[in-house]
Amino acid sequence: MKKRWYDYLWIVSLLYLFLGLFNILFAWLGLLCFFTPLIIAVVGGSKAYCNRYCGRGQFFALLGGRFGFSRKKDPPRFLKSRWFRYGFLTFFLTMFIVMLWNTWLVLSGIRELSKTVTLLWTFRLPWHWAYHGSAVAPWVAQFAFGFYSVMLTSTILGIFTMVLFKPRSWCVYCPMGTMTQLICKARSGNNVSLSQNYKENPYIMQSEQ
């Protein structure tokens, strides 16, 4: 299949994580990955972002498919189940609200800036080298630390399930995928199956061959 410009968006995903190692403010760019799929789903009523433009999914497909770092086993049924996907989405949104709350605490002066990145919502890692002084308000940096934590954690989870199961198993329970699914379902009035989109995605099928 002829390569198109969006086939290389995995480079953008890697560049995002790389830049966050040196300047945490680049984490704000991750909002593009947050709002773009939602806008596409609302305006176009499709999961085109998941199926075509998701650089992270492409990265997992590349690692697990071309480079063979995946067992290419079917993910367990519970990952595809509605209760798990909606439960994980609820947990994800809760952690996102906590991140916004921590940002507000810094904005209001109640709490000082925490120059740490939290992995898996549990393990705090020092990340002070990526913060370069008072060029911006502390709350701006706090949001960046929090958002980078979310992006890095989801990448680690995606790599973990990529190794154990099929390359893009993360796509099965990705919170953004679940939200866009709900939006598409609400717009069309039909039951948009996430597992069906998973099977029909050409990049997923290529990585599993």
| 38-60 pLDDT per residue, tens | 999 999 999 999 999 999 999 99
Q: pTM of the entire structure? A: 0.90
| Count of alpha carbons within 13 angstroms of residue 26, beta-carbon side | 14
pLDDT tens, residue by residue, 64-106: 999 999 999 999 999 999 999 999 999 999 999 999 999 999 9
C-alpha radius of gyration, the chain, whole number: 18
pLDDT of res. 193: 55
Candidates 155, 191, 207, 146; CA nearest to 176 is 155
Number of neighbouring beta carbons within 10 Å of residue 168: 30
Q: According to DSSP H, which parts of the chain are helical?
A: 9-19, 31-44, 48, 55-61, 77-80, 82-107, 138-164, 170-173, 175-188, 194-200, 202-207
* pLDDT value, residue 207: 46
Q: Which residue has better confidence, 89 or 1?
A: 89
* CB of 208 closer than 8 Å to CB of 167: yes
Handedness of CA 24, 60, 51, 77 (dihedral sign): negative
Long-range contacts (CB closer than 8 Å, 24 or more residues apart) made by 88-96: 88/173, 88/175, 88/178, 89/175, 89/178, 89/179, 92/175, 93/175, 95/121, 95/150, 96/150
Q: Which amino acid is at 28?
A: W
